[in-house]
Amino acid sequence: MQFIETRGNDGQHPENLSFSQAILSPISSFGGIYSPVSLPALGEDFLSQHLASSYKTLARGVLDAFEIDIDSATIDQALALYDEFDDPANPVPVVKVYDDLYVSELYHGPTRAFKDMALQPFGVVLSSIAQQRKENYLILAATSGDTGPAALETFKNKANVRVACMYPVGGTSDVQRLQMVTENADNLKVIGVKGDFDDTQNALKRLLASAAFNQKLKEKHIYLSAANSVNFGRIIFQTIYHIHSYLELVRQKAIDLGEKVYLNVPSGNFGNALGGYYAMQMGLPVEKILIASNKIYILTQLIKTGAYDLRTQAVVPTTSPAMDILKSSNIERILFDLFGSARTRELMLQLDNEKYYQLNADELETIQAIFAADFCEDAEGKAYIKKTFEQGYLMDPHTATCFKTYETCREKNLKTIVYSTAEWTKFSPVIANALTGEIDTRDIDALKSIAENANIKIPAMINELFDKEITHKCVIEK
Ligand SMILES: *Cc1c(COP(=O)(O)O)cnc(C)c1O
């Protein structure tokens, strides 16, 4: 499988790359990224073949179909990390909540958010390629909460890779911060920045553009890579669970093989939804992909009107912070796949220069044949958390945004798979507030309250965080 550039070629970047090369240097000409030149077809045969497969066997089948240039032993080692999830036999449980609504729980990994689904195996793959090439890589990350812990967890003590991660002091939940500052490994550095998420991201951008910094890296023979979802090494692992969730519905006799479903995805950078889109293009029977936004409704606006308009929107903090994103990186791969590189380059450059683009009527029609979208205000989300809890299911505020799209976007009476992207433990103050009205400023109080209310246990890896030694104390001015 070869990867090509979303914005065409500038004569300086390679026009096409193998999978491993695309992982190491994800940025292509004109500020574009790499996308697969074509997708494997996984028809009904593939699905019926894998009806009885374990998650890992299915994953192996999907990765083989992509024909990636990663050796078999490394892939096995990467997929073995799913054995560390809560239930090795079923790392992604799919739970029936209503007759036609099933929740696919993507948060049963070590950091309790869906980022582990891809970053866990990705860490093994990146480190192994770096070792084979005898090269050293630095991953720089600015995080608003979930990517940081998952990236640190996957790369800790991995050979030939180091991670430096910046987070906004006061801008993450206690659990998210503790997950970062208690990580103890020589190849990790965590830095608190006195500012908001944008300040950490700006600091990162200044660093990447700094000649002195780049000179220093060169002297030390260190290359830079990225662990965010512009890296296709993450996306590939995010196609698998969409296929798995569909097969789970067949196994649970909710649908017959071949019957269409809705995929319902809480979206920010659009990596999760892109995985669903690729699964659909590869032949998974999907009616439409429902995109759930929070009150930052940039993706909803795009899908409803064809306008991507940064001029009219600002990032306002919400109760689903992992979706507080204006520049959604993976939309670019959708544009490329549907409309080609010349048009993608035109649209993305316009977005850079004028903060805005508008799809034409044909393009909008193409998008709307695949996606539908709606946005969910914080208060609505809280109401869904409470109502759904009273009906026996506890969920986090990101997952809750999907219950709005479930109500407003379905045109047919088909089963819907909602993707749950975080465990309740990661956003406990919001959930405790939704359930009882209490206002907890500390996660530990909210965790205890919910655990008691729902009669469940706080998972050990969350509880332990509060007693762990803080190893990263570095806090700097913005
Ligand atoms: C990252 C994240 C999202 C958004 O996923 P994208 O792939 O960026 O669209 C949603 N919910 C949670 C909890 C996340 O951590």
Share of the chain above pLDDT 90, in %: 87
- The band of 465, judged by pLDDT with boundaries at 50, 70 and 90, is very high
- Decide whether any atom of ligand 1 lies within 6 Å of the 266 Cβ: yes
- Decide whether any atom of ligand 1 lies within 6 Å of the 176 Cβ: no
What is the identity of the amino acid at 120? Q
For Cα atoms 282, 284, 289, give the angle at the middle one, nearest 5 degrees. Answer: 100
3-class secondary-structure state, position 292: strand
What per-residue confidence (pLDDT) applies to 40?
A: 96
Residue bearing the CA closest to ligand 1, atom 11? 421
- Decide whether any atom of ligand 1 lies within 6 Å of the 173 Cβ: no
Mean per-residue pLDDT of the chain: 95
What per-residue confidence (pLDDT) applies to 441?
A: 86
CA 145 / ligand 1 centre spacing (Å):
10
Report d(CA 216, CA 353) in Å as an integer.
31
- Residue range 75-98: mean pLDDT, rounded: 97
Residue 417 is inside which H or E element, if any? Answer: strand 416-420
CA 9 / ligand 1 centre spacing (Å):
30
- Phi, psi of 31, deg, nearest 5: 80, 15
For residue 170, what are the CA distances in angstroms to 178, 422, 448, 469? 12, 20, 21, 19
CA 37 / ligand 1 centre spacing (Å):
26
Residue bearing the CA closest to ligand 1, atom 8? 269
Give the count of beta carbons closer than 10 Å to the beta carbon of residue 111: 28
- The band of 351, judged by pLDDT with boundaries at 50, 70 and 90, is very high
- Phi, psi of 284, deg, nearest 5: -65, 130
- Supply the DSSP string of 303-334, one letter for each residue: HHHSEEESTT------S-GGG--SS-TTHHHH
Q: Does the pLDDT of residue 404 top 90, yes or no?
A: yes
Structure confidence by residue, pLDDT tens digits, 409-448:
999 999 999 999 999 999 999 999 999 999 988 999 999 9
Structure confidence by residue, pLDDT tens digits, 263-297:
999 999 999 999 999 999 999 999 999 999 999 99
**Closest Cα partner for 277 from 296, 299, 255?**
299
CA 87 / ligand 1 centre spacing (Å):
22
- Decide whether any atom of ligand 1 lies within 6 Å of the 318 Cβ: no
CA 399 / ligand 1 centre spacing (Å):
10
CA 324 / ligand 1 centre spacing (Å):
9
What per-residue confidence (pLDDT) applies to 50?
A: 98
Of the two residues 368 and 43, the one the predictor is more confident about is 368
What per-residue confidence (pLDDT) applies to 237?
A: 97
Report d(CA 258, CA 58) in Å as an integer.
17
Report d(CA 168, CA 157) in Å as an integer.
24
3-class secondary-structure state, position 271: helix
- Decide whether any atom of ligand 1 lies within 6 Å of the 160 Cβ: no
Q: Does the pLDDT of residue 225 top 90, yes or no?
A: no
- Phi, psi of 269, deg, nearest 5: -85, 0
* 468, 460 Cβ separation under 8 angstroms: no
Q: Does the pLDDT of residue 145 top 90, yes or no?
A: no
- Decide whether any atom of ligand 1 lies within 6 Å of the 267 Cβ: yes
3-class secondary-structure state, position 350: helix
- Decide whether any atom of ligand 1 lies within 6 Å of the 115 Cβ: yes
Q: Does the pLDDT of residue 209 top 80, yes or no?
A: no
pTM score: 0.96
What per-residue confidence (pLDDT) applies to 48?
A: 97
- Supply the DSSP string of 136-173, one letter for each residue: EEEEEEE-SSSHHHHHHHHHTT-TTEEEEEEEETTSS-
- The band of 312, judged by pLDDT with boundaries at 50, 70 and 90, is confident
| 437 CB-near residues (< 8 Å, 6+ apart) | none
**Closest Cα partner for 178 from 112, 83, 230, 119?**
112
What per-residue confidence (pLDDT) applies to 400?
A: 98
Q: Does the pLDDT of residue 316 top 90, yes or no?
A: no
Strands 371-375 and 222-225: what pairing? Answer: unpaired
Q: Does domain 76-113+234-463 have CATH number 3.40.50.10420?
A: no
What per-residue confidence (pLDDT) applies to 314?
A: 82
Report d(CA 380, CA 260) in Å as an integer.
28
The atom number, within ligand 1, closest to the CA of 115 reads: 15
Report d(CA 52, CA 332) in Å as an integer.
35
What per-residue confidence (pLDDT) applies to 203?
A: 84
Share of the chain above pLDDT 70, in %: 100
**Do you know the residue count of the chain?**
478
What per-residue confidence (pLDDT) applies to 247?
A: 98
